[in-house]
C-alpha cells in the first residue's frame, strides 16, 4: 500500500510553518529535504511509522501530530476537489470523490454514513496499528474537517469527533483544535455532523465539467493501476531473476493476467516487457558493482545473464563503460569523497 505525496507535502509545509528542524528530520530519514519531489512521491504506507518516530525523536514531542494541525495548509485535492465542486450537492460530490480515494492512499478508507444514529464520516487510516500512526490519524481527521469546510464555504461544522488513538494531551487542547468535543478509543475515527450539510448546493455545479472531471479521475486511476502493475513485475524480477530466465509469458502467468493484456497495458504505460527487464538488470548491475565486492562473474548470473560476454556487451551498451571501468569509477568517487571530508 502506498500514499500520495500530497499528504507528505501538507505535513512538510506544516513542519516548516511550525518552525521545526525540518532538515534534521530529513537527514535522520536519509533524505535531502530540498531535493524531494514531494507531490510526485508515492511512498510505502508502512514508512509512516518510521517517519513519525523520527519526528517525535527530533522534536521530543509525543503529540506532535496534534500540535502540527494548526500549522497545516488546507488540502486541495485537485481532481477530488473538482468532483465535489462540479456536483450538484456535497453528498453527491463526496460519494463521487471517494470512488477515487486511492489516488491519495491505498491504505486510507473513508465512508459517509447517514442513518438513524446520525450522519458521520468514518475514517480508517491504516492497515497497521503502530503507535506512531496516531499522528497520521489526527492529521487526516483534522485535514478532512478543514477540507469539508473549504468546499462548503465554511458551512461544514463537526458536532463531535471520536478518535481511535488514546489521549496524550489535555482534553481542552483536542476540543479546541478540532472545534468540537473529542473522545478516544473508537474502533475507527468518526466525524459527526448535521446531515443537512449533505444537501449543500455547490455554486460551481456544472454537469459538463463534472463529466470532464470524472474522465480525468478515471485516467489518473488507470495510470496509477499501470504503475502498480509495473511495480509488481519489478518485484517478480527481484524474486526470480537469478533463478531462471523470465519471459513475458512467465510473468503474465504469475500475475494471473492474459499475455496479450499484459503487453497492451505495458504499451499504454509507454514501455514494454523487454525494456522493463533491461532497466531492472542495468539498475541491479550498477548497484552490485558500486556497492559490493561481488566478483563480476557472479554478477553476470545474479542479473540473469547466461554468459559473461553477453553481460559485458549489454553493460557497455547501457553505460558506455565496461563493468570494470564502472566499478573503478565508483571506487574513485568514494575515495575522493572520503579525502574531501577529512
Rounding to the nearest 10 degrees, give the CA dihedral for residues 93, 81, 135, 7.
140
Residue closest to 157 by CA, chosen among 192, 182, 119: 192
Q: Alpha helix (H) ranges present in the chain?
A: 5-17, 22-29, 47-59, 64-68, 79-85, 90-98, 134-151, 171-178, 207-240, 248-255, 259-268, 273-291, 296-302, 308-319, 323-341
Rounded Cα–Cα distance for residues 109 and 105 (Å): 8
Pairing relationship of beta strands 109-115 and 42-44 according to DSSP bridges: unpaired
Residue by residue, pLDDT tens for the chain (342 residues) are 566 778 888 999 999 999 999 989 988 888 766 655 555 666 666 788 889 999 999 999 999 999 999 999 998 877 999 999 999 999 999 999 999 988 888 778 899 999 999 999 999 865 556 666 899 999 999 999 999 999 999 999 999 999 999 999 999 999 999 999 999 999 999 999 999 999 999 999 999 999 999 999 999 889 888 888 998 898 888 887 765 567 899 899 989 999 999 999 999 888 999 999 999 999 999 999 998 999 999 999 888 888 899 999 999 999 999 999 999 999 988 888 777 766
Question: Would strands 109-115 and 158-162 be described as parallel, antiparallel, or unpaired?
Answer: unpaired
From the list 97, 179, 114, 113, the residue with the least C-alpha distance to 145 is 179
pTM for the model stands at 0.78
Distance (Å) of CA 274 to CA 101, 234, 240: 32, 12, 15
Give me the domains of the chain, ranges plus CATH numbers. Answer: 2-199 (3.90.1520), 217-338 (1.10.10.60)
Amino acid at each position: 500500500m502506498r500514499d500520495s505525496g500530497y499528504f507528505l507535502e501538507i505535513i512538510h509545509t506544516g513542519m516548516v510553518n511550525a518552525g521545526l528542524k525540518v532538515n534534521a528530520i530529513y537527514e535522520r530519514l536519509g533524505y535531502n529535504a530540498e531535493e524531494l519531489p514531494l507531490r510526485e512521491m508515492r511512498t510505502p504506507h508502512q514508512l509512516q511509522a518510521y517517519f513519525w518516530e523520527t519526528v517525535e525523536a527530533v522534536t521530543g514531542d509525543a503529540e506532535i501530530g496534534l500540535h502540527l494541525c494548526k500549522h497545516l495548509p488546507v488540502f486541495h485535492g485537485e481532481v477530488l476537489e473538482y468532483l465535489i465542486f462540479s456536483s450538484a450537492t456535497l453528498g453527491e460530490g463526496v460519494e463521487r470523490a471517494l470512488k477515487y480515494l486511492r489516488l491519495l492512499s491505498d491504505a486510507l478508507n473513508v465512508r459517509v454514513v447517514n442513518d438513524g444514529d446520525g450522519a458521520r464520516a468514518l475514517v480508517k487510516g491504516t492497515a497497521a496499528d503502530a503507535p506512531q500512526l496516531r499522528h497520521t490519524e489526527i492529521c487526516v481527521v483534522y485535514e478532512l474537517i478543514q477540507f469539508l469546510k473549504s468546499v462548503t464555504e465554511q458551512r461544514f461544522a463537526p458536532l463531535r469527533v471520536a478518535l481511535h488513538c488514546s489521549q496524550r494531551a489535555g482534553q481542552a487542547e483536542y476540543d479546541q483544535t478540532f472545534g468540537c468535543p473529542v473522545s478516544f478509543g473508537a474502533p475507527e475515527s468518526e466525524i459527526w455532523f448535521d446531515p443537512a450539510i449533505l444537501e449543500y448546493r455547490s455554486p460551481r455545479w456544472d454537469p459538463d465539467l463534472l463529466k470532464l472531471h470524472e474522465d480525468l479521475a478515471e485516467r489518473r486511476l488507470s495510470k496509477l493501476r499501470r504503475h502498480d502493475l509495473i511495480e509488481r513485475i519489478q518485484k517478480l524480477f527481484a524474486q526470480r531473476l537469478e533463478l531462471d530466465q523470465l519471459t513475458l509469458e512467465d510473468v503474465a502467468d504469475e500475475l494471473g493476467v492474459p499475455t496479450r493484456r499484459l503487453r497492451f497495458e505495458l504499451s499504454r504505460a509507454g514501455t514494454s516487457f523487454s525494456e522493463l527487464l533491461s532497466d531492472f538488470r542495468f539498475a541491479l548491475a550498477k548497484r552490485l558493482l558500486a556497492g559490493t565486492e561481488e566478483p563480476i562473474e557472479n554478477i553476470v548470473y545474479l542479473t540473469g545473464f547466461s554468459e559473461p560476454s553477453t553481460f559485458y556487451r549489454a553493460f557497455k551498451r547501457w553505460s558506455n563503460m565496461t563493468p570494470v571501468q564502472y566499478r573503478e569509477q565508483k571506487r574513485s568517487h568514494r575515495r575522493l569523497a572520503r579525502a574531501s571530508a577529512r
